[in-house]
């Protein structure tokens, strides 16, 4: 069985990485502060796993940023944001 990336991500992996690096944290340190494994944190940042809403809120709290900054932006068919 081949492992596949999720079709839809609820977070923006590069935004999570950028915010973490901006705070000077390693993946291990962020994972420990959030209460998840370093492996899961790595998979969230690489886009192999979706961050649950609860975990995304915890990540945002630890990184002192709004959750919306870490969320994936969604667009409708005309290309305009539906937010």
DSSP character string of 4-70: ---SS-SB-HHHHHHHHHHTT--HHHHHHHHTS-HHHHHHHHHTSSPPPHHHHHHHHHHTTS-HHHH
Q: Per residue in 26-43, pLDDT tens?
A: 999 999 999 999 999 999
Question: Does pLDDT of 82 surpass 50?
Answer: no
Structural domains of the chain in order of their starting residue, each with its CATH number: 13-70 (1.10.260.40)
Average pLDDT score over the chain: 88
Confidence category of residue 74, pLDDT binned at 50, 70, 90: low
This prediction has a pTM of 0.81
């Amino acid at each position: 069985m081949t492992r596949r990336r999720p079709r839809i991500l609820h977070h923006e992996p590069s935004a999570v990485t950028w915010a973490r690096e901006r705070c000077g944290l390693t993946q291990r340190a962020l994972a420990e502060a959030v209460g998840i494994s370093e492996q899961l944190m790595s998979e969230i940042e690489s886009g192999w796993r979706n961050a649950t809403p609860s975990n995304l809120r915890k990540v945002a709290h630890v990184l002192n940023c709004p959750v919306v900054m870490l969320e994936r932006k969604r667009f409708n068919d005309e290309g305009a944001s539906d937010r």
